[in-house]
Amino acid sequence: MTISSTCQNKPIVQAEDFLRLSDFTKKELFDLIEYGCMLKDEQEKGIAHRLLEGKTLAMIFEKPSTRTRVSFETGMFHLGGHALFLTKNDLQLGNGETISDTANTLSQYVDGIMVRTFEHENVTTLAENASIPIINGLSNDDHPCQVLADLMTIYEKKRSFSNVKLAFVGDGNNMAQSLIIGCAIMGIDCTITGPRGYEIATETFNKAQQLGQKSGAIISHTYDPVEAVQGADVIYTDVWTSMGWEDEAKNRVRHFKPYQVNEDLMKEAKEDCLFFHCLPAKRGEEVTADVIDGDQSVVFNQAANRLHAQKAILVALMGE
Ligand code: CP
Ligand code: NVA
């Protein structure tokens, strides 16, 4: 394996943390995506990037994870660093130690913290009290790492962000909130659809419309799933019941049923429309097996790009 020389120029971002996409400009997100593409390309050619030699990332998980945990841990290993997997119960955090004391203490040992938690405020409290970069690996409000990988996947498949229309079908959850902001920044038209009572926060929708005015993205909402997907290049969905809302699962199935992504709904979009899902998925609920396992589905490309997009984030925030 050779060591890369082309990857020495790390992507430059103003923010010290990766908490929400709205903290970044279009150029910064584009640079991260391009850097992720370059890392991916070089990795496929067997070129190594020891850009975080000797650095450690603490990963705090208050919710389960397959993709986020394995892609961050593998990413740190690829970059010559090390990752620590910590559940809340491995830390004194589970015993009542404050987030600020945890942030201050971890800052003495490690070079960055990735956190998956419930209230978004936990992420911001960590960031306010740590002297090292904080990365949001999913909160109740946001999943920015996933959306950076999704934008990278759109870029790979469509070679552009303009003239792309994305329809998000389902719950106005963390994925929907980060996606609409990511699309609005990059200039991707985005329509959200889902049942009444499960809309994204009005504040997020307004912010996306404001960002869309700058990028040219048309940001809209409808309760009609067929109207939402008309002319769509990408249909995106996510589980009807996110982690933390399990008590509502039965009730949600009833409300969300008309918003299932199935062959009939896919036919209402463009013929070459791609199907996206952040995973994990529930076949037979938000998506049918024929769609997620069919030719239009790119869900494992999205999963693969988590690794490369996050390596770009790690280098931007923790690299020399
Ligand atoms: N998409 C995603 O974040 O997956 P995990 O919950 O497996 O990390
Ligand atoms: N909305 C889902 C995303 C999982 C990656 C959840 O929060 O459970």
The answer to whether 196 is a known catalytic residue is no
Residue closest by Cα to atom 6 of ligand 1: 65
Using CB atoms within 10 A of its CB, is residue 88 exposed (0-12), middle (13-18) or buried (19+)? middle
CA distance 320 to 46: 23
CA distance 149 to 277: 12
Q: How much distance in Å is there from the Cα of 216 to the middle of ligand 1?
A: 30
| Pocket flag, ligand 2, residue 173 (CB < 6 Å) | yes
Average pLDDT, the chain: 97
CB 86 within 8 A of CB 60: yes
| Pocket flag, ligand 1, residue 178 (CB < 6 Å) | no
* 59 pLDDT tier (thresholds 50, 70, 90): very high
pLDDT of residue 161: 96
| Pocket flag, ligand 2, residue 317 (CB < 6 Å) | no
Give SS3 for 23: helix
pLDDT of residue 8: 58
* 9 pLDDT tier (thresholds 50, 70, 90): confident
Q: What is the pLDDT of residues 231-266, one digit of tens each?
A: 999 999 999 999 999 999 999 999 999 999 999 999
| Pocket flag, ligand 1, residue 175 (CB < 6 Å) | no
Q: How much distance in Å is there from the Cα of 316 to the middle of ligand 2?
A: 25
The answer to whether 189 is a known catalytic residue is no
Q: Looking at 143, 221, 252, 277, which residue is catalytic? A: 143
pLDDT at 6 over 70: no
Q: For ligand 1, what atom is nearest to the CA of residue 64?
A: 6
Q: What is the pLDDT of residues 286-298, one digit of tens each?
A: 999 999 999 999 9
Counting other chains too, the contacts that 220-227 makes at CB distance below 8 Å and 24 or more residues apart are 220/189, 220/190, 220/191, 220/192, 221/191, 221/192, 221/193, 222/191, 222/192, 222/193, 223/193, 223/194, 223/195, 223/196, 224/193, 225/169, 225/193, 225/258, 225/259, 225/265, 226/265, 226/268, 227/193
| Pocket flag, ligand 2, residue 302 (CB < 6 Å) | no
- Report the residue among 243, 286, 287 best suited for mutation to probe ligand 2: largest number of ligand atoms under 8 A from its CB: 243
Q: Which of 173, 153, 186 is nearest to 237 (CA)?
A: 173
Q: Looking at 238, 260, 273, 277, which residue is catalytic? A: 238
pLDDT at 119 over 60: yes
Q: Looking at 145, 183, 273, 278, which residue is catalytic? A: 278
Q: How much distance in Å is there from the Cα of 50 to the middle of ligand 2?
A: 31
* 2 pLDDT tier (thresholds 50, 70, 90): low
Q: For ligand 2, what atom is nearest to the CA of residue 278?
A: 5
Q: In what order do the strands lie in the sheet with 112-116?
A: 82-87, 56-61, 112-116, 134-136
Q: For ligand 2, what atom is nearest to the CA of residue 279?
A: 5
pLDDT of residue 7: 56
Question: Could you give the domains of the chain?
Answer: 2-142+305-318 (3.40.50.1370), 146-302 (3.40.50.1370)
Q: What is the pLDDT of residues 185-233, one digit of tens each?
A: 999 999 999 999 999 999 999 999 999 999 999 999 999 999 999 999 9
Using CB atoms within 10 A of its CB, is residue 124 exposed (0-12), middle (13-18) or buried (19+)? middle
CA distance 181 to 24: 10
pLDDT of residue 65: 98
Q: Give the Å distances, CA to CA, from 148 to 23, 107, 201, 262, 314.
A: 13, 26, 21, 26, 13
What does residue 38 show for φ and ψ, rounded to 5 degrees?
A: -70, -45
